[in-house]
Amino acid sequence: MMTMTTQVSWFDIVARLILTVIAGLALGYNRSEHGKAAGMRTMLLVCLAASVSMIQVNILLAMSGRSSDSFVMNDLMRFPLGILTGVGFIGGGAILRRGNLIVGVTTAATIWLGTVIGLCLGSGLLALGCIATALGLFALWVLKWAEDSLRQQQHAYLAVEVDASGLGEAEIRRRLAGAGLSITRYDVYFDAIQQQRRHSFEVSAFRTTADIGPPALINELALEPGVVKLEWKGAGELNA
């Protein structure tokens, strides 16, 4: 196992860069597979930037010091720390929020992990970098599967617009409760000219993340006499 020393051979550099490329491509493949913007190219570049910065530190360590014959007075470890700070901006740009829907958090965390893995591999801590890569892939693939199988609280929005002969608030509430949907907020709007009411509900239920389709109740309500318009935003569009 290679360690961080002041003398770095070209064999050491090539070995570190090869492992960095493998780690970056493996993490990036997972993000590309899920259609994320930060895919294989982005993850590879992030890992390489971190790895090269640590290789540079290794090489420059032999020239650093405060002896009378030295011309280098910099704290070299500020270089990789600056890489970590810069990656924070990239990770922040990967996180998007549309209403209550937040996406990109896992991608941002993967970019951060890729940077740390690059720092490990670039400094010669190859075993640590490889273990971190394996654990990261375990979290991205295996834990994703386990997470999808768990029942989680999902939020949705339902708006039912009815005429004078349509369902009332009490009946809609009863049907929502029967479908296992808990009401967290309710609003009603009455149009005196059209003699129509718009019942708006924010509801929640415990479902798996893969189960993002509307419940059967939504189709039943849409076919009810007096229903003028029905709007449903499910977990895929509205997710807390």
Q: Confirm if 30 and 137 have CB atoms less than 8 A apart.
A: yes
Q: Confirm if 155 and 34 have CB atoms less than 8 A apart.
A: no
Distance of alpha carbon 205 from the chain centroid: 22
Report pLDDT for 68: 46
Q: What is the rounded average pLDDT for all residues in the chain?
A: 81
Report pLDDT for 133: 93
Q: Is the pLDDT of residue 206 over 90?
A: no
| pLDDT tens digits, one per residue of 154-185 | 888 999 999 988 888 888 999 998 888 898 89
Report pLDDT for 98: 62
Distance of alpha carbon 210 from the chain centroid: 16
Q: Which is higher by pLDDT, 99 or 49?
A: 49
pTM, two decimals, is 0.64
Among the listed ranges 98-112, 121-135, 182-196, 218-232, which one has the minimum average pLDDT value?
98-112
Cα 10 to Cα 218: distance, rounded to the nearest angstrom: 65
Q: Confidence band (pLDDT; 50, 70, 90) for 36?
A: confident
Report pLDDT for 71: 45
| pLDDT tens digits, one per residue of 101-129 | 667 788 888 888 999 999 999 988 999 99
Report pLDDT for 237: 43
Cα 197 to Cα 64: distance, rounded to the nearest angstrom: 76
Report pLDDT for 79: 73
> What is the set of domains in the chain, with CATH numbers?
10-148 (no CATH), 152-233 (3.30.70.260)
Averaged pLDDT for residues 53-72: 66
As a whole number of angstroms, the longest Cα–Cα distance in the chain is: 94
Q: Is the pLDDT of residue 21 over 80?
A: yes
- Name the strands in the sheet holding 196-208, side by side, starting at the edge strand that comes first in the sequence: 182-191, 196-208, 151-162, 227-233
Which residue bears the tokens 């990789």? 80
Averaged pLDDT for residues 17-32: 90
